[in-house]
Amino acid sequence: MRTSIATVCMSGSLEEKLHASAGAGFDGVEIFEQDLLVNPASPEEVRALADRLDLRLNLYQPFRDFEGVEERLLAENLRRAEAKFSLMNRLGIDTMLVCSNVATAGPDDDDLAADHLRRLGELAAGHGVRVAYEALAWGKNVSTYRHAQHIVELADHPAVGTCLDSFHILSRGDDPAGIEDIDPERIFFVQLADAPTLTMDALSWSRHHRLFPGQGGFDLAGFLAHLVRGGYGGPVSLEIFNDTFRQSDVLRTALDGMRSLLWLQDRTRDRLAGTPEPAGAGRQAMTLTALPRSGGPAGHAFTDIRTDDADGVGTVLAQLGFRFRGQHRRKPVQLWEQGGIRMVIDGQRARGVAPSISALGLAVADPAASADRASMLAAPRVPRQNTPDEEALVGVLAPDGTEIFFAPLDPTPAWADEFGPAPGDATSLLTAVDHVNLAQPWQAFDEAVLFFESTLGLSRQPTAEVPSPRGLVRSQVMRTEDGCVRLALNMVPHVLDAGAYPEHIAFATSDVVAVARRARAAGMAVLPVPANYYEDLAARFPLDPDEVAVLRELDLLYDREGDGEYLHFYTETVGTLFFEVVERRHGYDGHGAANAPVRLAAQFALDERRRTRPPHPVRG
């Protein structure tokens, strides 16, 4: 597939955008007019830079409000177009995007619009270029791709074709299947954009909320499959108007976009596999890149907490029933274990670091294949130094900086022996990591969702918006089908630093009451839950008063879905890190979303108390 990206997707100067596009591996770019107009470089200099970077300049855009106008205005529009065609000649661009008229068109008249496009085509042909007509979803007369295509057919000029933009088609709920009926030679350009499912006017939705393919709610694999089956072989270009992308690091955005196109191609291959060849079509004009097959994670092999406060974290782990296995024989790293769960307290590069989740070790069938897949999706490798007698694990960096290691499925891995022999048996009430909650900087949220979906094959659950005293928190659970790995990504409110937002690791048990009693007996500080919560609980669910009394006594939270029940409690935070213990009964498969606001309010209140009242009274 010929990949392309519109300069309008990215932040920075035109030069920065071209460098980032080339750096991320795009074949070409669409030049958005504004990016050129504000730039001091001449068109010839821009062209030379693109040549040096081996980037094709695919498209010049947008040309607005051209067709269906009064004759006098048409003359003016053609003059305007001619200036652009000359400019395109200097840039070495052969295609101009013409958006359907949103303002100056008269009454809907397809013959008139076609006549105007034909005249534009004649002018374009004189300059050796061509025009691609695109239906904007809010066009005055022309707002559907079928209508635009009809006018292009009426215009019947070799320099007049169509531009298909997935946003304008899918935002209206139009069926993209008709793409297969269009002569692929008439499709001069294709733009791809995803978007979140929202109810708002198309213009605002399009100009501010577009997302890279796979980050929103549109079926772009289905869309691309129609293009492939229809025989399209031209560039496929990302055209994403997004307020956050425009203020994010330019290379990061370009890499995020390239990741989205790789993931999309892989999914589209799956979609096309097994479908019959379209009747009468020639050879497939587009080859889709495949990703290495790697299978999803089968569980958590270890979880790494970086801190220089190993005592603080170790105390809480001990209260939760973890046993200290040992200190690493070479590094300031501790291993704690319980019921097959491995917690690593990592003191490397940790001076002044409050406890935070620094790495997730995920058990996978083929660590090398998982790492290859992640690398192909532009995930940077974690630099690691091992001595020859140590097990070397490969890891990649998630967008928020969390290290994701691919560990073998082995229940007694060799690397654990580097911490000494396994401790003897004791009662293990905790059996697994149930989920991990990671704070995401607001700029990297959509990128993170795409990262975890494409590299690990985790699927997205519907997002929830959780009120906290410091702002609304967008929460997105990403999980394996069987639920053995669940990551809850929380988008940190803009007012907070991502490092100041609480993150947690939740452990599974089949007896949360026993765990809570044992932890309290060991002196654990549990996050307090207000009495109002329990009064409301008794109103919401027909619970036995004795049961509510136990919940209240132990600061347990409760949720129910059908027959499924969820009982859980939180530890107080150590820095910004805390732990949760959850018991799922009768197949409960959710994450207690209704209780998240209670937790956040309690945590921020605790944080406030700690800041205003130092924990150790000053002696006079």
| Residue 121 binds which entry of ligand DHB, Mg ion, none, CB below 5-8 Å type-dependent | none
- Tell me: does residue 239 bind ligand DHB (CB under 6 A): yes
CB 467 within 8 A of CB 598: no
| Residue 215 binds which entry of ligand DHB, Mg ion, none, CB below 5-8 Å type-dependent | none
Cβ distance to ligand DHB smaller for residue 130 or 479: 130
Distance CA 112, CA 103 (A): 16
Q: Cβ-closest residue to Mg ion?
A: 165
Is there a binding annotation on residue 476?
A: no
Q: Looking at residues 299 to 358 of the shown chain, list those that interact with ligand DHB (rule: CB under 6 A).
A: none
Select from 115, 103, 190, 106 the least CA-distant residue to 151: 115
CB 421 within 8 A of CB 376: no
- Tell me: does residue 503 bind ligand DHB (CB under 6 A): no
Alpha carbon 463 to chain centroid, angstroms: 12
Cβ distance to ligand DHB smaller for residue 67 or 134: 134
The residue count for binding ligand DHB (CB under 6 A) is 11
Residues whose CB falls within 8 Å of the CB of residue 567, separated by 6 or more in sequence, listed in order: 512, 513, 551, 556, 557, 558, 582, 583, 585
| Residue 136 binds which entry of ligand DHB, Mg ion, none, CB below 5-8 Å type-dependent | ligand DHB
Cβ distance to ligand DHB smaller for residue 207 or 540: 207
| Residue 358 binds which entry of Mg ion, ligand DHB, none, CB below 5-8 Å type-dependent | none
Can you name the residues that pair with 350 across neighbouring β-strands?
Answer: none
- Tell me: does residue 134 bind ligand DHB (CB under 6 A): yes
- Tell me: does residue 136 bind ligand DHB (CB under 6 A): yes
Is there a binding annotation on residue 122?
A: no
Residues whose CB falls within 8 Å of the CB of residue 131, separated by 6 or more in sequence, listed in order: 63, 95, 96, 97, 98, 117, 120, 121, 124, 159, 160, 161, 188
Can you name the residues that pair with 211 across neighbouring β-strands?
Answer: 194
| Residue 99 binds which entry of Mg ion, ligand DHB, none, CB below 5-8 Å type-dependent | ligand DHB
Element (H, E) at 538: helix 531-540
Task: Write each residue from 163 to 192 as x if it is in contact with ligand DHB (CB under 6 A), else as -, in one continuous string.
Answer: --x-------------------------x-
Q: Whole-number minimum distance, CB 239 to Mg ion, in Å?
A: 5
Q: Whole-number minimum distance, CB 12 to ligand DHB, in Å?
A: 20
| Residue 529 binds which entry of Mg ion, ligand DHB, none, CB below 5-8 Å type-dependent | none
Angle at 193 between CA 6 and CA 450, to 5 degrees: 105
Q: Looking at residues 73 to 102 of the shown chain, list those that interact with ligand DHB (rule: CB under 6 A).
A: 97, 99
Angle at 246 between CA 241 and CA 252, to 5 degrees: 110
Distance CA 500, CA 494 (A): 11
Give the 3-state secondary structure of residue 84. helix
Cβ distance to ligand DHB smaller for residue 246 or 518: 246
Q: Looking at residues 159 to 218 of the shown chain, list those that interact with Mg ion (rule: CB under 5 A).
A: 165, 191
Select from 341, 343, 353, 348 the least CA-distant residue to 304: 343
Give the 3-state secondary structure of residue 26. coil
Q: Whole-number minimum distance, CB 6 to ligand DHB, in Å?
A: 8
Is there a binding annotation on residue 191?
A: yes
Cβ distance to ligand DHB smaller for residue 79 or 207: 207
Beta strands in 333-485 (DSSP E): 333-338, 341-346, 356-363, 394-397, 403-407, 430-440, 459-460, 464-468, 471-479
Q: Whole-number minimum distance, CB 362 to ligand DHB, in Å?
A: 39
Extract the tokens encoding 574.
């150590």
Is there a binding annotation on residue 277?
A: no
Q: Which of 12, 28, 43, 62 binds ligand DHB (CB under 6 A)?
A: 62
Q: Whole-number minimum distance, CB 92 to Mg ion, in Å?
A: 22
Give the 3-state secondary structure of residue 248. coil
- Tell me: does residue 378 bind ligand DHB (CB under 6 A): no
Q: Whole-number minimum distance, CB 261 to ligand DHB, in Å?
A: 17
Question: Which pairing describes strands 333-338 and 323-327: parallel, antiparallel, or unpaired?
Answer: antiparallel
Q: Whole-number minimum distance, CB 200 to ligand DHB, in Å?
A: 14
Distances (CA, A) of 351 to 99, 307, 348: 56, 7, 8
Secondary structure of 108-169 in HEC code, one letter for each residue: CCHHHHHHHHHHHHHHHHHCCCEEEEECCCCCCCCCCHHHHHHHHHHHCCCCEEEEEEHHHH
| Residue 3 binds which entry of Mg ion, ligand DHB, none, CB below 5-8 Å type-dependent | none
CB 565 within 8 A of CB 492: no
Residues whose CB falls within 8 Å of the CB of residue 539, separated by 6 or more in sequence, listed in order: none
The residue count for binding Mg ion (CB under 5 A) is 3
Is there a binding annotation on residue 239?
A: yes
- Tell me: does residue 207 bind ligand DHB (CB under 6 A): yes
Q: Cβ-closest residue to ligand DHB?
A: 62
CB 17 within 8 A of CB 251: no
| Residue 207 binds which entry of Mg ion, ligand DHB, none, CB below 5-8 Å type-dependent | ligand DHB
Cβ distance to Mg ion smaller for residue 191 or 573: 191
Is there a binding annotation on residue 494?
A: no
Q: Looking at residues 509 to 548 of the shown chain, list those that interact with ligand DHB (rule: CB under 6 A).
A: none
Element (H, E) at 98: strand 95-99
| Residue 33 binds which entry of Mg ion, ligand DHB, none, CB below 5-8 Å type-dependent | none
CB 144 within 8 A of CB 116: no
Cβ distance to ligand DHB smaller for residue 193 or 404: 193
Task: Write each residue from 238 to 257 as x if it is in contact with Mg ion (CB under 5 A), else as -, in one continuous string.
Answer: -x------------------
- Tell me: does residue 237 bind Mg ion (CB under 5 A): no
Give the 3-state secondary structure of residue 410. coil
Is there a binding annotation on residue 82?
A: no
Cβ distance to ligand DHB smaller for residue 62 or 121: 62
Residues in contact with ligand DHB by CB under 6 A are 61-62, 97, 99, 134, 136, 165, 191, 206-207, 239
Question: Binding site residues for a divalent metal cation, as ranges?
Answer: 134, 165, 191, 239
Residues in contact with Mg ion by CB under 5 A are 165, 191, 239
Question: Binding site residues, as ranges?
Answer: 134, 165, 191, 239, 435, 504, 580
